[in-house]
Amino acid sequence: MVVSLLIALARSFAPHGDAPVDAPVDFARDVQPLLSDRCFKCHGPDEAARKAGLRLDSREAALAPAKSGNVAVVPGDVAASELVARITDANPRKRMPPASSGKELSDAERATIVRWIEQGAKWAGHWAWEAPLAAPLSDVRDAAWCREPLDRFVLARLEHEGLAPSVETDPITLLRRVTLALTGLPPTLDEVDAFVADTSRDAYERVVERLLASPHYGERMALAWLDAARYADSNGFQQDGDTYQWVWRDWLVRALNEDVPQDRLATRLLAGDLLPAATALERLDQQVASGLQRCALLNGEGGAIAEEQRNVLVFDRVDVFATTFLGLTAACAQCHDHKYDPITQRDYYSLFAFWNQVPESGVPPGDGQYRIADPWIQAGTPEQHERLAALETAAREADAAVAAALADPAVANAKSEWDARQREAFAQVELGPWDASTPFVEKSFDAAYDFAAGPDTNRERVAVGIAPAEWIPRPDLVDGVVHPLAGDNTAFFFRRAFHVAAPTTLGLHFGSDDALRVRLDGRLVLERKVTRGAAADQERVQVELRAGAHELVLQIVNRGGPGGFWFEARPAAAPPELTPTLTDALARQASARAERDAMRESLPRVMVMSDAQPRATHVLARGNYEAPLDPVDAAPPAFLPPLPADAPRDRLGLAQWLVAPENPLFARVLVNRAWQQFFGSGLVKTAENLGLQGEAPSHPDLLDWLAVELRTTHGWSMKALHHAIVTSATFRQSSRVDGERGAQLLARDPENRLLARGPRQRLPAMMLRDVALAASGLLVPTIGGKPVYPYQPADIWDGLAITKERDFAYPLSSGTDLWRRSLYTFWRRTVAPGNMFDASARQTCKLRSPVTSTPLHALTLLNDPTWVEAARALAQVALQERQKQLDSNGRQGQQQPQVALRLADLDAPLTLAFRRVVARAPDADELALLRRTVERARASFTADRAAAARLLAVGASPRDATLDATFDAVDHAALTVACLMVLNLDEAQTCE
């Protein structure tokens, strides 16, 4: 009989290697992933895609009759369970899942399902949807091994698997590992020596404290955030305009260094702009934090459809939020209910609504090097804001000086007489109503601005002398009010006829968003190419008018987002030459205002969030912005806890919801990513997906325990979590896999998910460069600031240079900017730095970057001037050290003849260089090999001394010429080659 055969089959496959065949099947670990991966596509949460009315993502549904009347799962009754019949059907065409899906079950997998039903079909909700509870610490046999509570969970699993942990790694390896892990830099030799010499019990503890307090900690921890934030220093796409988002990057580094608790950090990143602030500076700081959500790709391509692009931006923000803060992949639900996780399309657009209120057009406006899209703020350091405040005061004082000058009765009288005359004349001015042209949409801000004055005579005609029929009367545009205008890169023209009875001086006052140009009777009288919001009286010009008819043509050019203009005609403010005092005061007033405005414009313009443009949100059919369906309100996904009752329905409320204890995901996501950073793989390997298609946690109790600890004991302090991890016995294990035990361990657990050994990871390219700079002494450790342009091939941006709109030559930095940490390297979104291999492309949110090994990486580390210069500098440091030794060996004061380094002399500099890179000293065999490299190189350079000179000329750092007094340049070059090999050691590239 079929069923008994099945049961026999079931018994022949145990779920885990040596577990007894009757061992209980674990639904969450063994069955749910199968149902999700193989069945949910057609029998899961997506109602539209569901076949045969069968649903296997909930117990209720699976135990209820399907459309056919059959019941898929009858607990304990294999024969009555239709699911079993269907997955074991002898007819391959009827068997589920269909062969065409490529999702067929293996015999063992079928057996697991059969055994699960046989055992009563125990069901559990997906682990990640339930808030974590602190599990009791696991019982272990070897409790003495454990240093931190977390070790208990790791050891319990190892003991269960019959594995023993690895021995603790040696102190030097441990110090290098923890220093790289927490600061991204190698330990200095002094730090190594001090740690080795320190025999006190808390020596390691104190090292960890020191590293957590280092200002380089924040830089290290920011790296993963930058990938998650798809951070770049330019917008991407065609014009790839630069941005000032580095202000956000600096904010992030500072916040990580200050260990801002994760609940507050997340709130600021998500909703800093919505938080109350006590001071203007605090408000600015919080707004900058929200810049995370504005680090996205922006498409400024001519002809881009703004609303389409705007929707893409909102999709992207939902993706960053779901992936980074929830570990959920929501994007599927853009077009249909999620196939695996219980996120409906409605849920998706309810999330979408949180980000749908931004006053943005969707395309970055403008031209030139920087392209900043609304909304943005003028950031800047407190010092810069102080300076601005000073200039604002100066401008006010200049205004006061004008007022004071007018306090002189003679001056005031003269002026008031003059004013009276002007008023009289002004009363004679007959201003007609405005006429407006149709807007002229151009490819760029510049093009729109140059519209009237451009070389194209065809356009000149249009702009300056639009035929009367093409003007539309706009009597509604009254004076003294800001009139909004809409359209990016658009020129708007306004015309006004007026008449004066007698010769008159007239003051014309304007406000504009953005640029404006004013022509009177065809003559240009004012132009100002700025980007700003429109306000009253931003510009003024005084014009002399003859009696008769005149025509005023106003051109307003909007860069992007909302535009607008303001106008008033007034009697002339002051006669040109009334009194020297007044004239002088007026001049000073003008210059003070100009200085203030220039300062305002020099401040970085950071794109931040704002909810200033409420929009109704609809479900979009297949994600198409042109196909709205039902309206939805902002809300978190329905399968997760609801918004707290008193929370506002905006991003601030969402942040409160995120950090609430009921939220099952946030703390786990943080813990998991921290674990990934230290061990190479998270406790859930799919850090971006804790949903049903994600991988099950290797240590579920540990994940939950740490998540609860983070929220409670640690008070959301990431430094406390990092402290617990790096001081654990788990972290301190040796990463060796040598010998028979190592071979077995590798075969059993190649990815080290069981943690029977310490982590061994190739460093990310950014850190590889930092290690080379630090080891060679070139590193300039300044924190923060504008991005820099270290060595890159001169033509790295050539692919972009075909645009004529701006110069895309690589602006190589000079001086100290060449040796800053890689974090500060300018990241052009369209062309990543050439030596940053395996990096995220910074286009979409990325939480994991697979580490690969290709010949191109080898070429980079062997030939890029960054590493060659570092090798030269490292050799120089080693020689300087050797020189000091020679000097202290009693040769001071004597002029020594230049001597070739003898072989014996090489050991000290080689050892020093080696230690600066990998911390440990080379052994005799390694020294012998390195000496051989030096000897080979010496032979080569002795035969061609010019070649040595060429090698020593690589890089902009000056060479210490005093070395020539002791050492032959050939020796420096030869040692450089050996140092280059040291930087290329596998060990140098690895945190082991």
Site for another protein contains 344 (CB under 8 A)? no
Site for another protein contains 862 (CB under 8 A)? yes
Site for another protein contains 926 (CB under 8 A)? yes
Identity of the residue, 114 or 737, whose beta carbon is nearer to another protein in the bound complex? 737
Site for another protein contains 838 (CB under 8 A)? yes
Identity of the residue, 367 or 688, whose beta carbon is nearer to another protein in the bound complex? 688
Site for another protein contains 19 (CB under 8 A)? no
Identity of the residue, 39 or 332, whose beta carbon is nearer to another protein in the bound complex? 332
Site for another protein contains 800 (CB under 8 A)? yes
Site for another protein contains 853 (CB under 8 A)? yes
Site for another protein contains 159 (CB under 8 A)? no
Interface residue with another protein among 58, 381, 843, 885 (CB under 8 A) is: 843
Q: Mention every residue, 6+ apart, whose C-beta is less than 8 A from residue 818.
A: 788, 790, 791, 955, 956, 957
Interatomic CA distance for residues 641 and 663, integer angstroms: 7
Kindly identify the residues of this chain, within the stretch 694-723, that bind another protein according to CB under 8 A: 694
Cβ at position 834, least distance to another protein in Å: 5
Site for another protein contains 835 (CB under 8 A)? yes
Q: What angle do CA 304, 309, 313 make, to 5 degrees?
A: 155
DSSP-derived 3-state class of residue 516:
strand
Cβ at position 312, least distance to another protein in Å: 6
Site for another protein contains 973 (CB under 8 A)? yes
Answer left, alpha or beta for residue 948, where phi above 0 means left and psi between -120 and 50 means alpha: alpha
Site for another protein contains 739 (CB under 8 A)? yes
Interatomic CA distance for residues 589 and 861, integer angstroms: 58
Identity of the residue, 544 or 798, whose beta carbon is nearer to another protein in the bound complex? 798
Q: Mention every residue, 6+ apart, whose C-beta is less than 8 A from residue 438.
A: 470, 472
Cβ at position 103, least distance to another protein in Å: 9
Interatomic CA distance for residues 450 and 444, integer angstroms: 10
Interface residue with another protein among 238, 581, 782, 942 (CB under 8 A) is: 238
Identity of the residue, 408 or 987, whose beta carbon is nearer to another protein in the bound complex? 987
Site for another protein contains 903 (CB under 8 A)? yes
Identity of the residue, 183 or 734, whose beta carbon is nearer to another protein in the bound complex? 734
Half-sphere exposure in the Cβ direction for 339 (13 Å, CA)? 14
In Å, how far are 125, 294, 374, 683, 801 from 298, measured between CA atoms? 40, 9, 12, 35, 19
Contact 76, 50 (CB under 8 A): no
Site for another protein contains 106 (CB under 8 A)? no
Choose one: 150-158, 293-301, 377-385, 548-556; the region binding another protein (CB under 8 A).
293-301
Site for another protein contains 911 (CB under 8 A)? no
Site for another protein contains 472 (CB under 8 A)? no
Site for another protein contains 855 (CB under 8 A)? yes
CA 894, 900, 904, 910 torsion-angle sign: positive
Interface residue with another protein among 44, 236, 261, 784 (CB under 8 A) is: 236
CA 67, 72, 74, 80 torsion-angle sign: positive
The end-to-end CA distance of the chain, in Å, is 57
Kindly identify the residues of this chain, within the stretch 740-799, that bind another protein according to CB under 8 A: 742-743, 746-747, 760, 762, 793-795, 798-799
Contact 565, 512 (CB under 8 A): yes
Site for another protein contains 810 (CB under 8 A)? no
Site for another protein contains 949 (CB under 8 A)? yes
- How far does CA 796 lie from the centroid of its chain? 22
Site for another protein contains 102 (CB under 8 A)? yes
Identity of the residue, 15 or 833, whose beta carbon is nearer to another protein in the bound complex? 833
Cβ at position 399, least distance to another protein in Å: 44
Burial environment of residue 266 by CB neighbours within 10 A (0 to 12, 13 to 18, 19 or more): buried
Q: Which of 598, 530, 593 is nearest to 565 (CA)?
A: 530
- Which tokens sit at 17? 């290697």
Site for another protein contains 303 (CB under 8 A)? yes
Identity of the residue, 497 or 981, whose beta carbon is nearer to another protein in the bound complex? 981
Identity of the residue, 236 or 380, whose beta carbon is nearer to another protein in the bound complex? 236
Interatomic CA distance for residues 292 and 231, integer angstroms: 8
Interatomic CA distance for residues 489 and 669, integer angstroms: 42
Q: Which of 791, 775, 801, 800 is nearest to 825 (CA)?
A: 791
Choose one: 397-405, 463-471, 782-790, 984-992; the region binding another protein (CB under 8 A).
984-992
Identity of the residue, 676 or 933, whose beta carbon is nearer to another protein in the bound complex? 933
Identity of the residue, 77 or 926, whose beta carbon is nearer to another protein in the bound complex? 926
Contact 637, 669 (CB under 8 A): no
